[in-house]
Structure 1
Amino acid sequence: MKIDVSQAEGAQQGAPYPLDGITVLDLTQIYNGPYATFLMALAGANVIKIEPKTGENLRSRGDLGGVAYPFAMLNSNKKPVTLNLKSEQGKEILREMVKKADILIENFSPGVMDRLGVGAEALQKINPRLIYGSSSGYGSDGPYRNYPAMDLVMQAMCGVINSTGFPDGPPVKSGAALCDFFAGIHLHSAIMMALYARERTGTGKVVEVSMQDATYCSLGSNYGMFHARGDAAPERTGNRHGGLGVAPYNAYPAKDGWVVVNAPADHHWRAICEVIGQPDLADDPRLATRTDRVVNFELVDELLEAWMKTQTKGDAAAAMLARSVPCAPVRNLKEVMNDENMLARGSLQPLDHPELGRINVPHSPLNMKGVPRIPLEPHLPLGAKNDEIYGEWLGHSREEIDRMKADGVI
């Protein structure tokens, strides 16, 4: 009996998942592409993760503790197969898969798939309905096309590093892999746009997202300050607003840590004055308006620092939040990975992982009212679905699959 794996398990149970019946061939690696396909898998798509025989690079990053948590985080609910695309038979098997697929996604360097003979143009001749999505550092054209790119490199090229840190200190990278995940989010969006277009036209599209393009707009406040002040604008503003246009806007030391406050509106400032026990400051002409507070931001910071030092970070944040002041304690990773709000909402879920034990892993942040969350399934070992995909879905016999293994194709 053959199983049509183009139907997600949720669809078989009658669950109305948005991408039921959509098959995705996922040739991506690390963070960028795998995050896009993770979102698709948790929307009901059947995501076939195609890896080289040695596995994608992120599988090998667990040398400080077994299987890497990031791999587990991004590869739930996917069906892993191995395939040697440097072999002719491997390419032919990919073409077989393309005939039955809806989407193919890769984040190799520009030109790699074309050199292998399985680029967008070649594959859409096989399946005109195929949506081909790709992501790279700088895009498939332009003078930077062939530059190698990883998140750290992209942060440097996109201005993130130069904008991060304190004015009197060196540039510092972001702790988050911003460029990778910005690109992954945009890649998902581009593919959903192409799916919608296919519904109207019947034909697939080629979509592309570069990490550089996806990151640019995130420094909007910094660009605004540079546009207004030119070379007089500071390159780095520490924890203050990137455009120095809001005060209070900073991280303030408490007894046991730090608290950030971002209070752009006048009513926020009046509430802060009440919280810190100095309501008369609301009428101080030096601080009455946002412009006044920006001009006198050092005074604003001194007032908040003096009060914050008398508080624990939890008490300070609670007092501010009780008056609807935008603020939060600066939390460590242990606190974030056990967040009660995300656990309550189901956007972070406990999972019994066969190699990592019991861990909290994220679900998709994309929610549709009335559609239940797909149950999370731990990521599977390398090639775990070879027999299902190549045998039951593509229809190869046991003998053919054994021969592919012997020949180094899978």
Structure 2
Amino acid sequence: MSAATSNAASGQYPLAGITVIDLSHVYNGPYATFLMAMAGANVIKVEPFGGEHLRSRGDMGGAALPFAMLNSNKQPVTLNLKTEQGRQLLREMVERADILVENFAPGVTDRLGIGPADLQKINPRLIYGSSSGYGKSGPYRDYPAMDLVMQAMCGVINSTGYPDQPPVKSGAAICDFMAGIHLYAAIMTALYERERTGQGRVVEVSMQDATYASLASNLGMLHARGEEAPARTGNRHGGLGISPYNVYETKDGYVVLNAPGDRHFRAILDVMGRADLKDDPRFLTRGSRVAHFADVDALIEGWTRLLPKADVAARMLAAKVPCAPVRDLSEVMHDRNMHARGSLQWVDHPELGRVVLPHSPLVFEGTQRRALEPSLPLGACNHAVFGDWLGHSDEELAAFAEAGVIGMSGEQAPTPKETQSV
């Protein structure tokens, strides 16, 4: 029996025994480390005394749930990295860790003396993962970057919306999460390499690099049509290469419908009771349907408007046609498929009450999903990490707190003005 088969048979988590130091904030890095935590890693979340940026946005009413979504099963500690004692505590953690993740602006950790070169001297097996907007090299290196900015720079905003209207940002924070997924992949690749070589590696992912390939359809149309390619295609296919491919009005909302092959469109005609149009030259092939997409859309919407969206979707799905109702977020949060799979779970959160939280999309067959443990208050694990794990006495921890290096017992420690945390 191979080691992989043995692990699956025993129900062991793939990253059991791996310790991760998480210095990251908001969505990008925290999503990568969330995936690690749910794969069994011990993730220690290091935050400044005021909390990482997403936690500190909670008082605006919109970030409390996102923080909880991305920080289940992590051990939060507070640490002032602008003090030498704070940096020394981080070095002690790195000695015992396997992975460190950060998404500061390029150069920040180097200036603090805790960059990859510094930390890998302490622990040559350390995998140091970083992510930023534009990467650590190139002319944009020092540009500030958030998801909205990156959507603009990556072409996402200009590709979204209708051709006769202004561009619109994506509703989802796709650049942040694209980068987080790729960061996880880079770190896991380096971890695999370390198993063979015994050596750590520095990996980085830029949000710009991670997003580009997602615009494949739009880029394909640009390559094929050049200046004639429309910047935005509304709800139609980004490359205008498939028809039907759109959002269609129903009696009580909307559905999406997609016919990637000729057989799908013939099935649509059967469902609509319009088998008489199967030999119509406008609809005979995908190419002819793309050339007459307005006629295709008018035909379909003339039928969908007469029915509820659930009825349209049920009929099309029964005929194996890709179709779905356009659902609002409250419907998605209660999705019966995701709840049945354990991908979404109801959790009694100590601060937020009963909420729906996501589990990792990564399913490891033979191993039960790791139980979701709600995100913890700021600094809740200071004693467990700095005391129990690193071995510092209660007297030392009290001295650290008094000096503004760490907080104590989940409370924010006083921060001297001259040593404000990163």
Identify the TM-score tier after normalising by the shorter chain: over 0.9
- Does residue 1:99 correspond to 2:95, yes or no? yes
Cα pair 2:100 2:129 within 8 Å, conserved: yes
Which letter does structure 2 place at the counterpart of 1:32?
Answer: N
Which letter does structure 2 place at the counterpart of 1:160?
Answer: V
Instruction: State the SS of the aligned residue for 1:142.
Output: coil
Match among 241, 247, 252 for residue 248 of structure 2: 252
In 1, Cα distance between equivalents of 2:34 and 2:94: 19
Match of 2:345 in 1: 349
In 1, Cα distance between equivalents of 2:214 and 2:62: 34
Match among 92, 114, 137 for residue 141 of structure 1: 137
Cα pair 2:13 2:40 within 8 Å, conserved: yes
Cα pair 1:41 1:77 within 8 Å, conserved: yes
Match of 2:156 in 1: 160
How many residue pairs were aligned? 398
Cα pair 2:54 2:63 within 8 Å, conserved: no
Cα pair 2:289 2:296 within 8 Å, conserved: yes
What is the TM-score of this pair, normalised by structure 1? 0.96
Match of 1:313 in 2: 309
- Does residue 1:151 correspond to 2:170, yes or no? no
Instruction: State the SS of the aligned residue for 1:141.
Output: coil
Alignment of 1:257-268 (within 5 A): 257-268=253-264
Q: Aligned-pair distance for 1:281?
A: 1.3
In 2, Cα distance between equivalents of 1:28 and 1:221: 32
- Does residue 1:328 correspond to 2:332, yes or no? no
Give a deviation string over 1:129-178, Cα, whole Å, max 9, x none.
Answer: 00000000000000000000000000000000000000100000000000
Alignment of 1:45-60 (within 5 A): 45-60=41-56
Which letter does structure 2 place at the counterpart of 1:48?
Answer: I
Alignment of 1:20-31 (within 5 A): 20-31=16-27
Which letter does structure 2 place at the counterpart of 1:255?
Answer: K
In 1, Cα distance between equivalents of 2:144 and 2:259: 40
Match of 2:72 in 1: 76
- Label 1:64 to 1:315 Cα distance change in 2 as closer, same or farther (>3 A): farther
Match of 1:3 in 2: none
Q: Aligned-pair distance for 1:63?
A: 2.5
In 2, Cα distance between equivalents of 1:66 and 1:320: 37
In 1, Cα distance between equivalents of 2:57 and 2:274: 52
Cα pair 1:20 1:43 within 8 Å, conserved: yes
Match of 1:4 in 2: none
In 1, Cα distance between equivalents of 2:393 and 2:11: 32
Give a deviation string over 1:265-301, Cα, whole Å, max 9, x none.
Answer: 0110011001111011122111111111111111000
Q: Aligned-pair distance for 1:189?
A: 0.2
Which letter does structure 2 place at the counterpart of 1:291?
Answer: G
Match of 1:113 in 2: 109
- Does residue 1:199 correspond to 2:195, yes or no? yes
Cα pair 2:48 2:80 within 8 Å, conserved: yes
- Does residue 1:230 correspond to 2:232, yes or no? no
In 2, Cα distance between equivalents of 1:190 and 1:176: 23
- Does residue 1:125 correspond to 2:154, yes or no? no
Percent of pairs identical after alignment? 70
Match of 2:238 in 1: 242
In 2, Cα distance between equivalents of 1:21 and 1:51: 23
Instruction: State the SS of the aligned residue for 2:170.
Output: coil
Match of 1:359 in 2: 355
Give a deviation string over 1:219-267, Cα, whole Å, max 9, x none.
Answer: 0000000001111100000000000000000000001111001111011
In 2, Cα distance between equivalents of 1:151 and 1:16: 36
Match of 2:418 in 1: none
What is the TM-score of this pair, normalised by structure 2? 0.93
Which letter does structure 2 place at the counterpart of 1:98?
Answer: V
In 1, Cα distance between equivalents of 2:279 and 2:113: 71
In 2, Cα distance between equivalents of 1:369 and 1:354: 31
- The two structures, once aligned, show a CA RMSD in angstroms of 1.0
In 1, Cα distance between equivalents of 2:148 and 2:63: 23
Cα pair 1:66 1:355 within 8 Å, conserved: no
Q: Aligned-pair distance for 1:65?
A: 3.9
Gaps of 5+ in 2: 1-6, 407-422
Which letter does structure 1 place at the counterpart of 2:315?
Answer: A
Report the more deviating stretch, 53-62 or 217-226. 53-62
Cα pair 1:66 1:356 within 8 Å, conserved: no
Cα pair 2:11 2:366 within 8 Å, conserved: no
Alignment of 1:384-399 (within 5 A): 384-399=380-395
In 2, Cα distance between equivalents of 1:218 and 1:399: 53
Match of 2:28 in 1: 32
In 2, Cα distance between equivalents of 1:373 and 1:61: 30
Alignment of 1:291-302 (within 5 A): 291-302=287-298
In 2, Cα distance between equivalents of 1:252 and 1:55: 44
In 2, Cα distance between equivalents of 1:96 and 1:49: 15
In 2, Cα distance between equivalents of 1:243 and 1:275: 27
Instruction: State the SS of the aligned residue for 1:283.
Output: coil
Cα pair 1:308 1:316 within 8 Å, conserved: yes
Cα pair 1:67 1:355 within 8 Å, conserved: no
Cα pair 1:272 1:325 within 8 Å, conserved: yes
Instruction: State the SS of the aligned residue for 2:59.
Output: coil
Match among 187, 208, 214 for residue 212 of structure 1: 208
Instruction: State the SS of the aligned residue for 2:191.
Output: helix
